[in-house]
Homo-oligomer: A and B are copies of this chain.
Amino acid sequence: MEPIRRAALVKATIDEIGQAGSLDVTVAQIARRAGMSSALAHHYFGGKDQIFLAAMRHTLSLYGAEVRGALAMARGPRARTEAIIRAGFNRSNFRSDVIAAWLNFYVLAQSDDQARRLLSVYQRRLHSNLVFNLKPLIGPRAGEAAVRIAGLIDGLYLREALTRGASLGDEPTRQVLTLLDHELKSFGKDTAT
């Protein structure tokens, strides 16, 4: 029973946060949505914070899986870089519950050490994935280029996530791919330090 209940609670937590837009949801709401009493939620998770963290971990691990999946499909460094970029702007990342999870994750990361560590794991993974695939293309400039590409992914995701109604799909992806082209073309031009 335990794993089933835990999974149901995690799912319910994500849904509830998505609907509220914030972490301001009660254990009772979560438990009700998961079809059990609030006492049981406490029994399995110990407290509200732990439920939240489990839900965050779950959302992040889904994103990680997506990136890994996209990477597995692509052949060659250029295609793999593109795959990483496209994964970030997948439709699934713009479901309102996923958006809510990320934004509240950022808020939480200010004060909660576990959240910050979790976040930095995913940031580092994105960065090193980019560097690994950019290196064969542009060599030592891969590091800096990766910072820009990752930054642009984050920034455009944020804008897109907060602009209701105007989400026309792959415009952000196009923008990042254009940046990628810039980075590739300008390779070797001014190698001054």
Q: Is the CB of B152 within 8 A of A21?
A: no
CA distance A111 to B96 in the complex (A): 11
Copies of this chain in its oligomeric complex: 2
A186 within 8 A of B: yes
Q: Chain B residues near A153 (CB, 8 Å)?
A: 155
- Counting contact residues on chain A (CB < 8 A from B), the size range is 35 or more
- Of the candidates A24, A103, A116, A189, the one having the most CB atoms from chain B within 10 angstroms of its own CB is A103
| Chain B residue nearest in CB terms to A18 | B110
Query: Given the known A-B contacts A151-B175, A164-B116, A178-B144, are A110 and B158 also in contact in the complex, defined by CB atoms under 8 Å?
Result: no
- In the assembled complex, the Cα of A152 lies from the Cα of B175 at a distance in Å of 11
Q: A22-B23, A154-B159 are in contact. List 8 more A-B contacts (CB 8 A).
A: A21-B108, A24-B24, A99-B110, A110-B162, A116-B164, A147-B156, A155-B155, A185-B189
27 contacts between A and B (CB under 8 A): A20-B111, A22-B23, A22-B110, A22-B111, A24-B24, A96-B110, A99-B110, A100-B110, A103-B103, A104-B107, A106-B106, A106-B158, A109-B162, A116-B164, A120-B163, A147-B156, A148-B152, A148-B179, A151-B156, A154-B155, A154-B159, A155-B156, A179-B182, A182-B182, A182-B183, A182-B186, A186-B186
